[in-house]
């Protein structure tokens, strides 16, 4: 099988060109066709000599993701895309047009191994990692379906999967998306969200300049352990230490704490108080996400009043805090609702 050229880093592409004895500028030209111009095939690379295009096509394909389905939310204008991969597995990506930006939420794995009790993707278990080209492919395919004036400006790695559990592929994809000669998305407009793999958080802070969000979701070791099995591997204290290291690596860095609010589990004012103590130790902002229910889940969304009171407690203590009502709730495209049936063995 020909290799997906989108799986190559910029250096790997130029190395391949060198090995084939091609002129230096060729690799830059191809890279630009792939990412700046988002060419779907080598034939479109019209400033490349025809035999050159044929040479690339002999060794590589430009991996495409097939649009399996598209669900448009009537409520908030978000769109959930189901993308079919070459092996019949699928992943979901969610497009969220906002006032002055257009954000795409990407998946990093088919399924997820982290087993968070409140998340629908966890039910799939981990099927496989996505390759860098499949991660970038979600951006390329989505952009191709949009009118040119609607440019994807922001990326969140918050879809299916644990991005730091697929570290190398995710970092390679981030490099290409934030490369001015690649997709050219500013580092400040890319956010990766993690359950809290502590060593990878520290590596990530050194390897990239993009933003970090930690899915905190609870304020005690025991409470977090009940919801998120990963806590048994990396304690709450260890993860917060890693976040602190991340914030210190570059000036003005801060972490976003995501906090899914579950009725009767983590929505009391005692929780808010503990959260404010956690937040006082490092530069951070806090996103409260009222829980999105789904049929097989045992958890419920807290009442509006509960969410407000929690919010107010933190806002009064001068935290930058937001209530994030998820987009795409009516199309099952909201946080923690992404799940696809798969034909591959687990
Ligand atoms: N594995 C990464 C990336 C997924 S992000 C991570 O955990 O951060 C998904 C975000 O949605 C996480 O913050 C998670 O805590 C939250 N989430 C999961 N299930 C949810 C649900 N049913 N309702 C609201 N938020 C949910």
Residues in the chain: 346
H-helix segments, the chain = 10-19, 24-35, 50-59, 132-144, 167-178, 198-207, 221-227, 236-249, 269-279, 304-316
User: Cα separation of 75 and 285, whole Å?
Assistant: 27
255 and 240 in contact (C-beta within 8 Å)?
Answer: no
User: Cα separation of 328 and 292, whole Å?
Assistant: 10
Q: Ligand 1 center to residue 63 CA distance, Å?
A: 28
Degrees to nearest 5, angle at CA 273 with 262 and 319: 95
Cβ contacts of residue 223 below 8 Å, gap of 6+?
265, 266
Q: Which residues on adjacent β-strands are paired with residue 83?
A: 67, 91
User: Cα separation of 155 and 137, whole Å?
Assistant: 13
Q: Ligand 1 center to residue 304 CA distance, Å?
A: 20
Burial of 208 (0-12, 13-18, 19+ CB in 10 A): middle
Is the pLDDT confidence value at 252 over 80?
A: yes
- Quick: pLDDT tens for 55-80: 999 999 999 999 999 999 988 899 99
Q: Of these residues, 17, 105, 112, 335, which one is catalytic?
A: 335
Is the pLDDT confidence value at 93 over 90?
A: yes
User: Cα separation of 140 and 64, whole Å?
Assistant: 9
User: Cα separation of 89 and 36, whole Å?
Assistant: 27
Shortest-distance Cα residue to atom 5 of ligand 1: 158
- Quick: pLDDT tens for 113-137: 999 999 999 999 999 999 999 999 9
Q: How many CB atoms are located within 10 Å of the residue 194 CB?
A: 25
Tokens at 30, concatenated: 């191809």
Q: Which residues on adjacent β-strands are paired with residue 154?
A: 103
Around ligand 1, the residues with Cβ closer than 6 Å are 118-119, 158, 162, 193-195, 215, 217, 258, 260, 289, 291-292, 335-336
Which one-letter DSSP state was computed for residue 290? E
Q: How many CB atoms are located within 10 Å of the residue 156 CB?
A: 18
C-alpha closest to that of 228 among 213, 212, 217, 214: 217
User: Cα separation of 223 and 253, whole Å?
Assistant: 28
Residue 92 falls in the annotated catalytic set = yes
Is the pLDDT confidence value at 105 over 90?
A: yes
Please state, for a pLDDT cut of 90, what percent of the chain lies above it: 91
Return the ligand 1 atom nearest residue 326 CA: 24
Residue 335 falls in the annotated catalytic set = yes
Global confidence as pTM: 0.96
Which one-letter DSSP state was computed for residue 163? G
Mutate to test the pocket of ligand 1, among 201, 335, 337, 339 (most ligand atoms within 8 A of CB): 335
Shortest-distance Cα residue to atom 12 of ligand 1: 215
Q: Ligand 1 center to residue 87 CA distance, Å?
A: 26
Return the ligand 1 atom nearest residue 108 CA: 3
Name the pLDDT band for 329 (thresholds 50, 70, 90): confident
3-class DSSP assignment, residue 232: helix
Name the pLDDT band for 208 (thresholds 50, 70, 90): very high
Name the pLDDT band for 24 (thresholds 50, 70, 90): confident
Burial of 73 (0-12, 13-18, 19+ CB in 10 A): buried
pLDDT at position 342, please?
55
pLDDT at position 343, please?
44
Q: Ligand 1 center to residue 62 CA distance, Å?
A: 31
Q: Ligand 1 center to residue 338 CA distance, Å?
A: 10
């Amino acid at each position: 099988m020909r290799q997906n050229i989108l799986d190559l880093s910029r250096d790997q592409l130029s190395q391949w060109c060198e090995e084939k004895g091609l002129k230096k500028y060729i690799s830059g030209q191809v890279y630009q066709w792939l990412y700046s111009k988002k060419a779907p095939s080598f034939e479109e690379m019209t400033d490349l000599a025809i035999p050159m295009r044929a040479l690339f096509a002999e060794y590589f394909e430009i991996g495409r993701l097939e649009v399996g389905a598209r669900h448009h939310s009537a409520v908030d204008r978000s769109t959930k895309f189901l993308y079919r991969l070459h092996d019949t597995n699928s992943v979901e990506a969610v497009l969220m047009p906002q006032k002055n930006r257009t954000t795409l939420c990407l998946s990093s794995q088919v399924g997820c191994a982290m087993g968070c009790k409140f998340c629908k993707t966890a039910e799939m278990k981990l099927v496989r990692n996505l390759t860098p080209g499949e991660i970038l492919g979600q951006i390329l395919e989505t952009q191709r379906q949009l009118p040119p004036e609607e440019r994807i400006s922001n990326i969140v790695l918050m879809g299916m999967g644990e991005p730091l559990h697929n570290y190398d592929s995710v970092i390679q994809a981030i490099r290409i998306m934030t490369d001015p000669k690649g997709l050219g998305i500013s580092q400040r407009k890319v956010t990766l969200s993690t359950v809290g793999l502590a060593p990878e958080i520290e590596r990530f802070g050194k390897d990239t300049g993009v933003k970090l969000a930690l899915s905190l979701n609870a304020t005690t070791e025991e409470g977090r352990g009940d919801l998120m099995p990963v806590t048994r591997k990396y304690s709450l204290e260890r993860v917060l230490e890693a976040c602190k290291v991340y914030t210190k690596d570059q000036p003005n860095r801060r972490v976003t704490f995501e906090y899914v609010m579950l009725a009767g589990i983590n929505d009391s004012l005692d929780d808010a108080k503990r959260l404010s103590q956690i937040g006082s130790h490092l530069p951070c902002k806090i996103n409260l996400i009222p829980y999105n229910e789904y049929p097989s889940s045992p958890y419920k969304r807290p009442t509006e009043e509960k969410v407000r009171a929690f919010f107010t407690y933190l806002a009064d203590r001068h935290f930058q805090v937001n209530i994030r009502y998820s987009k795409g709730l009516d199309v099952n495209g909201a946080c923690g609702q992404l799940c696809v049936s798969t034909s591959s063995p687990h």
